[in-house]
Amino acid sequence: MRRNPRQLINDLRHSRRAARTERVETESLELRERLAHQWAELRAARRAVEVAPDIAGGPSNLTRAQVPYGVDLAAAWSWRFIVISVAALAILWVLQFFMVVVLPLVIALLIAALVSPVVTGMSRLGVPHKLSALLVVLGLVGAIVLMVTFVSNQVLAGVGDLSKQVTDGIDQIRDWLRTGPLNVTDSQISDGLESAQEQISSLSEDAVGRVTEVSTAVGHVVAGLFIVLFSTYFFLADGAKIWAWMVRLFPRAGRLRADSSGRVAWQSLTQFVRATVLVAAVDAIGIMIGAVALGVPFVSAIGVLVFLGAFIPMVGAFVSGTVAVLVALVAQGPFTALLMFGVVLLVQQLEAHVLQPFLMGRFVSVHPLGVIVAIALGVIVAGIPGALIAVPLAASLNAVVQHLATYTDVGQDAAEAAQGDPDTLPLDASGDDVADVAGAADVGDAVDATAGARPEGGRP
């Protein structure tokens, strides 16, 4: 049946209108669904903000790194070594910053270690302890004043004779330079003298700054002398109380071992000082005998200088002996200076091969290589004061390490070694608890008892 063309057109329009209507309804439905979904998400997010989130934990998914035992052990030692080294460097920096105070305290400690037996002996004779300490300090001051006065008088008395000897010695040196193996001409000698005069004049240009530096150094020396005097007296008079106070700074469980380690260090320091005094006396007497035999002036001054320089083992006596060689060179000429140099070497050989092994090896137990390394490190860290402090510090540390090592056996497990240690107690532990663990009514009282059992002033 054939349709009317008009009807076909109407049907096409109707179908297009229906498709357009269906498409609009579909888009409108999708838009409503999208808006509803977004609205639901917005409401859920708002409710999540209003309600505190519930966080649940679970087992860790991390495991220990599987590394070789050697690497693990090296890492454990490395970070501990780094921490200890940084702490040690910080302590050394602080001590170097306050060296004006630290050095007199160390010198006072060495003096107290030397003369503490005298104070103990006077106390046993019935002299009050603090009075004994005061008398010993005054005796030291008097001895030093007498020694300085005697040396100064000898130097002043010999200046007149030395001036003529210096002139003759310079002439001998000039003749030896001309006629000796060097074959130095007069013009070269004159040029050398002129250059030396120019250097001296250049140094004198900054005289004001140098005077300021010298005055500051003199002020430090005077202040240091007073610190040494007062510190020596209090170390001798109240040394036991000072040490007991320092022990109380340690944890309770470590006070007994800290006290025993301090006693061992003090014993080693005392032996070191006594051995050093004996070595210094032998060096000074030997070089003085050689100087007298060769007719070198200022014998007493040279002896005092050698005695003081010998407190820096294996180095100080040789350096101070060089002064004797220079005095002999100026006063007596090259041949006498050469003989004096031989005397210094002979005394040094006696010290190195007889005195050092017999005294230092017996009393201090520090190997000569350890002495040299300690002196070198001391010079690098603090100069000449460091060289003075290095060897007694090394001797004391060596004694403490050997003492603490006696608490454990070779190859013993750390847990087994710690079984005999006192247990760690809480901060509110009573005295009875400490007595049960440490074997005393109070560890602090035990430290006082051990300090009181020793002669007062026996150890600062």
pLDDT tier at 39 (50, 70, 90 boundaries)? confident
Whether 167 maps to a domain, the answer reads yes
Query: Tokens standing for 129?
Result: 């302890």
Whether 365 maps to a domain, the answer reads yes
Question: Is the separation of the CB atoms in 122 and 136 below 8 Å?
Answer: yes
CA distances from 37 to 43, 50, 63 (A): 10, 20, 43
Q: Percent helix, strand, coil in the chain (nearest 5)?
A: 80, 0, 20
Report the range out of 235-244, 268-277, 329-338, 371-380 with the highest average pLDDT. 235-244
Query: What would the pLDDT profile of 124-159 be if each residue is shown by its tens digit?
Result: 888 898 899 999 999 988 988 888 887 777 777 666
Instruction: Please tell me which residue, 364 or 217, carries the higher pLDDT value.
Output: 217
Whether 417 maps to a domain, the answer reads no
Query: What would the pLDDT profile of 441-458 be if each residue is shown by its tens digit?
Result: 343 443 343 333 343 444
For the chain, the straight-line distance linking the first and the last C-alpha, in angstroms and rounded, comes to: 134
Whether 246 maps to a domain, the answer reads no
Whether 290 maps to a domain, the answer reads yes
pLDDT tier at 386 (50, 70, 90 boundaries)? confident
Query: What would the pLDDT profile of 58-68 be if each residue is shown by its tens digit?
Result: 676 666 667 78
Report the range out of 167-171, 202-206, 344-348 with the highest average pLDDT. 344-348
Q: How far apart are CA 413 and CA 28, in angstroms?
A: 82
- Percentage, residues of the chain above pLDDT 70: 68
Report the range out of 11-15, 330-334, 337-341 with the highest average pLDDT. 337-341
Domain count, the chain: 1
Q: Average of pLDDT values for 190-217?
A: 64
**DSSP letter string, 281-311:** HHHHHHHHHHHHHHT-S-HHHHHHHHHHHTT
Instruction: Please tell me which residue, 364 or 289, carries the higher pLDDT value.
Output: 289
Whether 52 maps to a domain, the answer reads no
Neighbours of 64 (CB within 10 A): 6
Question: Is the separation of the CB atoms in 76 and 200 below 8 Å?
Answer: no
pTM for the predicted model, two decimal places: 0.63
Query: Tokens standing for 310?
Result: 């010998």
The whole domain housing 133 covers 99-206+253-407+432-447
Q: Average of pLDDT values for 22-26?
A: 81
Query: Tokens standing for 378?
Result: 């001391």
Long-range contacts of 261-264 (CB under 8 A, 24+ apart): 261/400, 261/403, 261/404, 262/459, 263/454, 263/459, 264/399, 264/400, 264/403
Q: How many helices (H) and strands (E) does the chain have?
A: 15, 0
Whether 125 maps to a domain, the answer reads yes
As a whole number, the mean pLDDT across the chain is: 76
Which pLDDT score is estimated for 20? 79
Q: How far apart are CA 141 and CA 132, in angstroms?
A: 14
User: For residue 162, which of 295, 297, 292, 294 has the smallest C-alpha distance?
Assistant: 297
Whether 436 maps to a domain, the answer reads yes
